[in-house]
Structure 1
């Protein structure tokens, strides 16, 4: 088997996000299992979590340990190899990638820096938070790119509530103890987090972790530079979501450009000062800086420019997809949006394209199908629109149906990773756990 793998076509996928992990799982099941290809996943983290869940981790309504997937285990089950480490470079002439050394929490080296050869390279390293050079933002605001950042925010939130009820925090104009959370950016992450935090405040109160009034004493502010929240979605979805947030006593501030973030406040261009015990930055994303160093064409946003086959313009042996790629969307005369549904569709497409390439056949052309967008407001509601081939037009949905559709997106991801039986068992397991655990992680 080792000899077979040594001579087999070597496919490296860099990035174990939703699309990358789905792709290596399918390639491993079909090509790796049969020895037709050696499939390798490279990621700097040892575990995977579906990134749209991070706002729930930050609010404490989801325990990440029950939803994380070990890459090593997935590799064993689905016949691919996992290499932990961060991409630092690509030598296209020698067809190798450079991977940084991997260290533990104490800084001790676990794996050395190394080179990995490839025949086909797929870049799927996602995106990172963009602070737009706002003074104090990187120092005082918490991004939600990783589980560690989300867990850090959750711990700080609980600590702030405990301090406030014991008279060690700030007080409002009415003399009551008060906790303020500022969320900068009213895209999907910021909006979903605000609703989850309102639920968290109620649950923490119910379990006696604080005696604050969940709505009056725990203030949540959503700050958006544009004229409305959810700018990437339709005006109706934006308007309905604004109404729902205000019913939850979420302070929605639009047309407020943040100019500075301090350790206890957010300042805006209109001279507003929003008190903040905790600040979350959800105002934008950008491509990882390493992409600009690879010698491949990039867009103004730093994404790898790809054609209709998802191959890079400079090298047909290198593909890119997901948030790190600028993929044409001819129907809209723009690029494919950075959404989970796009990464899922591109992963499915690339599985077929790579197999066609190995067989010497012409590659198909990727066509993105927009099925709409959904925004979850936690236990309170969900809103969104269904579009395109799904219903033959567009339709606004909210409430129970929208919540069901939103949950189905994650279940589709689990289905792609574990199959129908695995997805069914995962669903039942989490339902049973929800009946015996608090609705919010309390420690």
Structure 2
């Protein structure tokens, strides 16, 4: 009897796992059986604010994961992982199933931290998961169409996500000929980009009606939110955008994680404490090479992950070396963007045009082509 193929369960359909799906034949040729556990639709974070601002329709930022898996002959379970028993190599799924694995690969993205337990209260949204932003957009559009006054919106978080969400919401209101009533609340000066770039961005947002407030939102009240220093801001809608942390399933592994809950991995993308567990993207961080949660790292790590998962069937593994500088581009919701790479930056329509080309090309490359299912 032929020996059983090692089974690798891919948890999540992030940037890297989409690449693995498209190259599943490499795994099968190496004697490895891939199984995908993920929701049926992938919401691409790079275009989320473009959709929120009304510049793009929602379908342009989505990938049919079920169709992609089917086309490339990968078994797909439309569920989420809820618990991991590493001793038994068993994965518990949200649909009640248990899945046995030989190796596990996590590409589950990130969530928005909520230290004051504001999520779930009336008219509170978070930047992650991304479907929350779709609900926010619908709620705001319904408000715009009503005869009620424009809502007061507070964005809690002064990192790149907070600034980009503020710009996107301003763009949505501007497209509907409304004057934004937006407050962006941040705890400290923006240190995530070149000083002149963040200064120019701040000025641009203020000119568009965004009010910047130093502080921290700690409580939701009826028609308002309270800051840590006791001040109160008018607030009909609250958006949580204070950074990113790894999804809870990462902590549930019981493996070493960073202060943001990201799984600590080595250069082969394996956990530093369990070689059967791989992780890429926002949910992981490499020892000695900390990097922010950004899609570019998942994209660059994808070929290394594919090779190393195939090596489970026999062969040596490769090492991933993350780049020291990377391009990030913010969509400012008004037809312009802010591009940054190291100390170099520029703001304008050309920056957004470059972002659109890169993002839409990625979406097009990862969508399942028409035709027959590819399977060995």
TM-score where L is the length of structure 2: 0.88
2:204 pairs, out of 233, 237, 244, with 244
Higher relative contact order (CA 8 A, sep 6+): 2
2:121 pairs, out of 124, 128, 139, with 139
User: Are 1:151 and 2:166 matched, yes or no?
Assistant: no
Q: Which protein is bigger by CA-based radius of gyration?
A: 1
User: Are 1:411 and 2:365 matched, yes or no?
Assistant: no
Report the CA distance between 1:311 and its aligned residue.
0.7
| Counterpart-to-counterpart distance in 1, 2:365 and 2:59 | 20
Per the alignment, residue 119 of structure 1 pairs with 102
Q: Aligned pair in 2 of structure 1 residues 147, 301: CA closer, same or farther (>3 Å)?
A: closer
Report the CA distance between 1:64 and its aligned residue.
1.9
| Counterpart-to-counterpart distance in 2, 1:386 and 1:302 | 26
1:39 pairs, out of 17, 22, 34, with 34
| Counterpart-to-counterpart distance in 2, 1:293 and 1:270 | 35
1:339 pairs, out of 288, 294, 312, with 294
1:221-254 Cα shifts (integer Å, max 9, x gaps): 21111123xx32222221121122122222122x
User: Are 1:190 and 2:181 matched, yes or no?
Assistant: no
2:351 pairs, out of 377, 402, 406, with 402
| Counterpart-to-counterpart distance in 1, 2:251 and 2:129 | 22
Structure 2: gaps (5+ residues): 371-376
Q: CA RMSD in A?
A: 2.6
1:247-291 Cα shifts (integer Å, max 9, x gaps): 2222122x3122322231122234432212211111122222333
Quick check: 2:152–2:237 contact (8 Å CA) kept in 1? yes
Report the CA distance between 1:191 and its aligned residue.
1.7
Per the alignment, residue 7 of structure 2 pairs with 10
Q: Aligned pair in 2 of structure 1 residues 414, 274: CA closer, same or farther (>3 Å)?
A: same
Q: Aligned pair in 2 of structure 1 residues 297, 329: CA closer, same or farther (>3 Å)?
A: closer
For 1:24-103, what aligned pairs fall within 5 Å after superposition? 24-26=21-23, 28-32=24-28, 34=29, 36-43=31-38, 45-101=39-95
TM-score where L is the length of structure 1: 0.76
| Counterpart-to-counterpart distance in 2, 1:336 and 1:291 | 17
| Counterpart-to-counterpart distance in 1, 2:335 and 2:207 | 10
Quick check: 2:32–2:312 contact (8 Å CA) kept in 1? no
1:297-347 Cα shifts (integer Å, max 9, x gaps): 2223222221121111222121111111121344xxxx1221111111122
| Counterpart-to-counterpart distance in 2, 1:413 and 1:143 | 25
User: Are 1:367 and 2:321 matched, yes or no?
Assistant: yes
Quick check: 1:258–1:268 contact (8 Å CA) kept in 2? yes
Q: Aligned pair in 2 of structure 1 residues 336, 416: CA closer, same or farther (>3 Å)?
A: farther
Q: For 1:179, what is the secondary structure of its paired residue?
A: coil
| Counterpart-to-counterpart distance in 2, 1:159 and 1:184 | 22
